[in-house]
Amino acid sequence: APVGDPAPRKLKLFVNAPSMGFEDAESRKAAQEIELTAEQLAGDKPFPLNYVKFQRVSQVTLFFEDNASGGDEDVTDVARIDLLGFTVETTNMKEFKKVG
């Protein structure tokens, strides 16, 4: 998102929480919370996640709790999200067989 009022400011990440709603995201403890910087919003600086909390992940839920407007804007602009990750080293995807 462009840096400015509707840009996200605070991001909460949840792991393996498939049926989470907005109320849940506001009240539950996130796996990680991030205060986004201008560099991160510009896409120039990735931010590492806590390795221990992001193992065996099948789903990631992102909740943008606040934006840079300080509460003046209800809408937060997000232009792009890139997630980088690695499969478990012991997983050999060639050994997977179709079932059924």
Residue with more model confidence, 2 or 47 = 47
Task: Give CATH superfamily name and number for 8-95.
Answer: PITH domain (2.60.120.470)
Q: Which pLDDT belongs to residue 5?
A: 65
Name the burial class of residue 78, with classes exposed (0-12), middle (13-18) and buried (19+) by CB atoms within 10 angstroms of its CB.
middle
CB of 53 closer than 8 Å to CB of 15: yes
| C-alpha neighbours within 13 Å on the C-beta side of residue 20 | 20
Question: What is the sign, positive or negative, of the torsion defined by CA atoms of 70, 71, 73, 79?
Answer: positive
Residue for token pair 């910087």? 37
pLDDT digits (tens, 9 = 90+) for 60-91: 999 998 888 877 778 888 888 888 777 666 66
